[in-house]
Structure 1
């Protein structure tokens, strides 16, 4: 069994409406996302081609979140809710007989992050 990961970044604004503190005001982040897939290698010797993974993440996630106001896409866009939203978009596309999505990690800042592994 292999674990394969690729990292991505996107810039977006949000505000945490159900939060009392600084983050209830409009602000932005450069988010970092790690997508990890696990499984067996295919006939080409790969779990998934890094190029294919990049294409999927760009199409299903980054094209929708980059330079956007996240509150219009994800209710209460905490790092936890963003990770779950990304999982829900990627899990059906990445699942095959030989592989599946293992986890999604979202960094809101350089030292604050959350990891989600599905329900």
Structure 2
């Protein structure tokens, strides 16, 4: 089974190693989708949604919301953001019956990245 939580955060960024309009400072309302795969525990849950939300909010959303992402990542493309998110959540979202399966970072309603922990 896959347990899913969606989040939104607003952040600014610029892409200094890109040639085009995104090399200039601009902002997005990002959508973050986090998926945890596992089997239900004795309470019948893969992961308690309250715990899931608290973990992602504290470790990721609160650190990214209303920031300039360049203060955290030198080239904050959706690809690099997704890897950073994975690194923050992989261990905290691993338990006896579940593990982090994938993260999605949506920069716009039609453009996003799916990351499953592959080596980059």
Q: TM-score, normalised by structure 2?
A: 0.96
Are 1:74 and 2:68 an aligned pair? no
Are 1:61 and 2:60 an aligned pair? yes
Distance 1:75 1:40 in 2: 38
> 1:10 maps to which residue?
9
Q: Which runs of 5+ in 2 are unaligned?
A: none
Distance 2:88 2:54 in 1: 13
**Moved >2 Å (runs of 4+):** none
Distance 1:75 1:83 in 2: 14
Note the 1:1-119 alignment, pairs <5 A. Answer: 2-119=1-118
Residue 74 of structure 1: how far off its partner (Å): 1.6
User: Deviation digits for residues 15-40 of structure 1, max 9, x if unmatched?
Assistant: 00100000000000000000000001
Q: TM-score, normalised by structure 1?
A: 0.97
Residue 96 of structure 1: how far off its partner (Å): 1.4
